[in-house]
Amino acid sequence: MNRSLTRNIFRAARGIPDVDAPFAHLVEVEHVFSREAFADAPAPWSPGDDFAEVMGGVWLRSNSDGTQTAVVAGVGPKQLPAADGGDWTDEEVWTVTTADADVFAWLDDKPHRVTWALGRSDVVIERESYVGHPHEAVSDYWYGFYLRHWFTPERRTDGRYGVTLACAPNDSWFSGPWPLADASSRLLASFGGRANVRTVEVPDASDQRVPHGVSLMQRLSHL
């Protein structure tokens, strides 16, 4: 393990107050990876600068006429309502425009439910093949990355990639500083860059819900 990083993690963990709420105080390690480690990563695709990304493969734009336009990439056969009138075997990219905001109510959770708008006269739908679409290459790259490394980094505003791991010293050993030091050292050795250690307080933390940074750390420490 990286000795300097491990020392910093344990120093931060010793400063965590001993409280009953297991996830109210965390030690986080923010990794900012080297540019060289992701030199082959494809550039992110977007339908336009005026679109806001809702989640991976989903974008939304508010139009001047009171309508909204959503672009949903990779709409597939499992999402096809019977109203379409035929078998659908290939994934598509849908561009959907309507004034009814309810059509887009599921974009941040189950975006393919936008297909429920098929056949409505107040909804304009443009469909194109997903095969060969620019977003397909981006999605395939990160899917393959996840299968190899079991995490997907976040793209920062400066164009670099990073991820934040965390431990909860007031929870079990498996949520503590040793697994965090192990997982963070592995990331540092594999992707380079820098790792910043900090402590954070989460006043409204649930005792039953493991924070994402902790669960990700647990997964990576067992590889």
Q: In this structure, is residue 144 part of a structural domain?
A: no
- Tens of pLDDT, residue by residue over 150-209, are 999 999 999 999 999 999 999 999 999 999 999 999 999 999 999 999 999 998 999 999
Rounded-to-integer distance, Cα 182 and Cα 217, Å: 9
Q: Would 46 be classed as within a structural domain?
A: no
Same domain for 114 and 172, yes or no, is no
What sections of 122-176 are H helices per DSSP?
A: 134-149
**Is residue 126 located within the same domain as residue 157?**
no
In a domain, 148, yes or no: no
Final residue of a structural domain among 69, 104, 133: 133
70 and 122 part of one domain:
yes
- How many CB atoms within 10 Å of residue 134? 15
**Domain count of the chain?**
2
User: Whole-angstrom Cα distance, residue 101 to residue 79?
Assistant: 20
Last residue of a domain, one of 82, 99, 133: 133
CA distance 155 to 159: 6
Tell me which residue has tokens 């009138």: 85
pLDDT at 222: 79
Asked whether the beta carbons of 195 and 54 are under 8 A apart, the reply is: no
Q: Return all residues near 20 (Cβ < 8 A) that are at least 6 apart.
A: 170
The whole domain housing 184 covers 3-33+153-221
Q: What is the pTM (predicted TM-score) of this model?
A: 0.84
Same domain, 113 and 80: yes
Q: Does residue 174 contact residue 22 with C-beta atoms inside 8 Å?
A: no
Strand order in 58-62's β-sheet? 52-55, 58-62, 68-75, 92-98, 123-129
What residue has token string 């990083």? Answer: 5
Assess contact for 41 and 141: CB atoms under 8 A.
yes
pLDDT digits (tens, 9 = 90+) for 53-96: 999 999 999 999 999 999 999 887 666 664 555 566 688 999 99
The one-letter code for the residue type at 83 is: A
Same domain, 72 and 111: yes
Say if residues 94 and 71 touch (Cβ distance below 8 Å): yes
pLDDT at 60: 98
In whole angstroms, give the CA distance from residue 163 to residue 172. 23
Task: Determine contact, residues 176/169, Cβ cutoff 8 Å.
Answer: yes
